[in-house]
Structure 1
Amino acid sequence: MPMKDILIELGGGRGGDATLNYGLSLATLLDAHATGVAPVGEVDDAYVFAEAAGVLVQRLSVEMHAAADALCERFLGAAATRGVVAEALKTTISSAAGDRQAAELARHFDLTVVSQPDAQKSTAEPSILQAALFGSGRPILVTPYIQRDPASLEHALVAWDGSREATLALAGALPLLRRAKRVEVTTINAEGLADLPGFNITRHLARHGVRAELRRITSDLDIGNALLSHAADVGADLLVMGGYAHSRFREVVLGGTTRTVLESATLPVLMAH
């Protein structure tokens, strides 16, 4: 099934422009409808209590929504310039139900394009990355904040370890892989495992019209950095991989490889969980 309905996270932080431009270029490439979403956070409860000023809280809320409105207008203008059919919306991410709200929204789209994590992002401009990845059941595409080139499918790199997460990412990426000029299925430090790691999934892709080559890599680096290093070496413009996490005290904690790639990626990364 082709990707015809894309959700794009809007933000004013360091990766906002990169995500907007990449998301719209991807919509152009796929002839897809684009919906921009500007997440709006809540005023921190501790700050409200310390200030004890309802007028200030109201003013901050107005400012947050005005900033989100400006992002929506900018997105619609950029979409119109590119000839992309688009709409924009705001969503309030509450501290109590924010993850659920963002995840439910992302379920209504084929793909959600999000910005690379930014530790300096304010609570007034929350990220929907983790909610969309771990709660939507849909793939996400993380745009690095240094991204300047439009969406391209010259060389797609698929990280394969046979896991459920990698399988979901591969399935979610299939419409893009069918368009890619070159697809490489990469296994890292997988020697010694049964059933020729990567062979069966490469054959599966061929049956879907994707001619993929299999590359086995042995590296002393951790898997995340080995993937990113190899992607840079071969000039890949898309990395497809599973998104891993575990629970701790009712919170979702990113797995080591996932965290490394999200923090250090210099190419777009499609993930699913």
Structure 2
Amino acid sequence: MTEQVMAAIDGSQFSEGVCDGAVWASQALDAPLTFLHVVDNHPQTAEADLTGNIGLGSQEHLLEELSSLDERRAKVAQEYGRGLLKSATERATEQGISEPASRQRNGTLVETLAELEDDIRLLVLGKRGESASHASEHLGTNLERVVRSMHRPILMVPGAFTHPQRVMIAFDGSKTTRKGVEMLAQSPLFKGVSCDVVMVGADTGDLRAQLEWALTTLRNAGHDAEGDIVVGEVEEALRSWQQDHEIDMVVMGAYGHSRIRHLLVGSTTTSVLRGATVPVLLLR
């Protein structure tokens, strides 16, 4: 099966942005687009042990009622999901996608994506799901689990999506972030987009050489590129650069050999994604 852009949608406030980001990626990559909705049907009755709580006859009756309720809930959830998929495909069609596909699966989002991973070129999903808190800095547990389990690039959309004009890559000279720079330079996703390269640490000769390599690679590919080495805490330094330079997408590698590594393999991952106000593309 051809690798595709896959967008995981639900009834959250992020789904329209996810849809628009997926359309952008699909068109830029000239890759098929598929919308995915996962119905998490984990019946409560199977896990409940009510023995001894009430009379056996009443208990049996209540278990039957609970089972019937689970079945009705599942049917409603499936129908609800089909409506979401229909709306998403219509929105994508209006934006020029000729044949967007849709899939509905039962299970958990993480397990479903693991099964479909070989078909995914880029995964697009929102900052949190519909069941999560609406606090602006709350990060969905599904997103954290997906980031840690997937081996495909992930585009996280924290709100409305607009086509990026200036992106920032958090660079530390590691193998993964060097590949990230090369991807930025050549990917049709970023054709004509200005690129900022930001390193966090002491301004040493080695880091300066790494930075110059990155800038040269981007400029040789036709990009308007600038960057610098900044001192400070990684999260705050990256956030300040993004805000000061009107960055509308952040690109980060999944692993590195410096402090930036902890952005994606430790608790700092949550902090960076939680505070994101622009889409973040996570590279694997």
Q: Same fold (TM over 0.5)?
A: yes
In the alignment, structure 1 residue 138 sits paired with structure 2 residue 152: yes
Structure-1 separation of matches of 2:73 and 2:282: 34
Q: Which has the larger radius of gyration?
A: 2
Spell out structure 1 runs of 4+ moving beyond 6 A: none
2:226 and 2:235 map into 1 onto residues whose CA distance is: 21
Q: Which secondary structure state, in structure 1, belongs to the residue aligned with residue 251 of structure 2?
A: strand
The answer for the alignment partner of 1:113 in structure 2 is 124
Corresponding residue of 1:192: 204
- Does residue 213 of the first structure (1) align with residue 213 of the second (2)? no
Structure 2 match to 1:83: 96
Q: Relative to structure 1, is the Cα distance of residues 112 and 213 closer, same or farther in structure 2, using a 3 angstrom cutoff?
A: same
Distance 2:200 2:189 in 1: 20
In the superposition, the TM-score normalised over structure 2's length comes to 0.75
Q: d(CA) in 2 for partners of 1:244 and 1:259?
A: 15
Q: In structure 2, how many angstroms separate the alpha carbons of the residues matched to 1:190 and 1:89?
A: 48
State whether structure 2 residue 253 is matched by structure 1 residue 223: no
Q: How many residues align?
A: 253
Identity %: 21
Instruction: Report how far residue 68 of structure 1 moved.
Output: 1.4
The question of whether the paired residues in 2 share the 8 Å contact of 1:7 and 1:36 is answered with yes
Matching of residues 7-86 of structure 1 within 5 Å: 7-43=6-42, 45=44, 49=48, 52=63, 53-85=66-98, 86=100
Deviation at 1:184, TM superposition (A): 1.0
Q: Is the 8 A contact 2:3 2:121 kept in 1?
A: yes
The alignment partner of 1:11 has SS state of coil
Q: Does 1:268 align with 2:279?
A: yes
Q: Secondary structure at the match of 1:107?
A: helix
What is the aligned-residue RMSD (CA, Å)?
3.2
State the shift of 1:117 in Å.
Answer: 2.9
Q: Structure 1 or 2: larger helix share?
A: 2
2:194 corresponds to which residue? 182
* Aligned counterpart in structure 2 of residue 235 of structure 1, from 225, 246, 249: 246
Deviations 1:105-161 (A, max 9, x none): 233222111101359439xxx97644553333221111012x2x5323x11111101
CA separation in 1, counterparts of 2:282 and 2:113? 16
Q: 2:107 — aligned with what?
A: 93
Normalised TM-score (structure 1)? 0.78
Deviations along 1:80-112, one digit per CA (max 9) or x if unpaired, are: 222203111112234xxx534313423322211
CA contact (8 A) 2:171 2:199 kept: yes
